[in-house]
Copies of this chain bind each other. A is one copy, B any other.
């Protein structure tokens, strides 16, 4: 089948760009954003900007204070812990759902992200580390072939990214957790799901919370 050409609307483009800016840390949590300013920057009218903003608010990345202003969402410690709890559960579910065939079909992609992540770490590109880390985990979830599960994890991942950026984890700790990816894959390959889940628990709860334990 030929690839269908789809004309992306301006609001879709603004949505994507804005999302990237938020997730990359270019727009930090708490930053106020103005429709008019964005309209000027992107060279479009306020209408597509508004639509993008409304959607991102629905997604959970922006907070709209009616008739006043719009700001980038900031994740609280409590919420980070809440998310970690849910995330552990859902990624464990994903692991349980991955059978031999699903593993074979996805192992290449997952391994690539793990490698990319380590490479980014080795050259000290934190932004890329975070991005590839997310992609690794999401690829793992995608392998479970459960769209509802994937959707949810993707949404949570966005908020996790907000936190990661704000958090500034020390280099050695970050490196330690990144290296667990390989172990996770190995255990999955061996079919030792229990060990894999145990390691995942440590990986995620520490990866995230800072002060938060379990």
A residues sitting closer than 8 Å to B (CB atoms) are 6-9, 11-12, 50-51, 54-55, 57-60, 66-67, 78-79, 82-83, 85-86, 89-90, 93, 97, 146-149, 151-152, 155-156, 159
Tell me what chain A mostly uses at the interface: helix, strand, loop, or mixed: helix
Nearest Cβ on chain B to A81's Cβ, whole angstroms: 9
**B contact residues around A9 at 8 Å (CB):** 66-67
What CA separation (Å) do A17 and B58 show in the bound complex? 16
- Closest residue to A59 on the B side, CB-wise? B58
A-B contact pairs, 14 of them (CB 8 A): A8-B66, A9-B66, A9-B67, A12-B66, A54-B54, A58-B58, A82-B147, A85-B93, A86-B90, A86-B148, A89-B89, A89-B93, A148-B156, A152-B156
Inter-chain CA distance A155–B154, complex, in Å, is 14
- Taking CB atoms, residues of chain B closer than 8 Å to A97 are 85
Knowing A6-B66, A66-B9, A152-B152 are in contact, say whether A146-B55 is a contact too (CB < 8 A). no
Which residues of B have CB within 8 Å of A148?
Answer: 79, 82-83, 85-86, 156, 159
**Do A149 and B85 touch (CB < 8 A)?**
yes
- By beta carbon, the residue of chain B nearest A89 is B93
Q: Tell me which residues across on chain B come within 8 A of A85, comparing CB atoms.
A: 93, 97, 146, 148-149
Q: Tell me which of B54, B66, B147 contacts A79 (CB under 8 A).
A: B147
Cβ-defined contact, A7 with B66, below 8 A: yes
Known pairs A51-B51, A85-B149. 13 more at Cβ < 8 A?
A8-B66, A50-B51, A58-B58, A78-B147, A82-B147, A82-B149, A83-B148, A85-B93, A86-B148, A86-B149, A86-B152, A89-B93, A148-B156
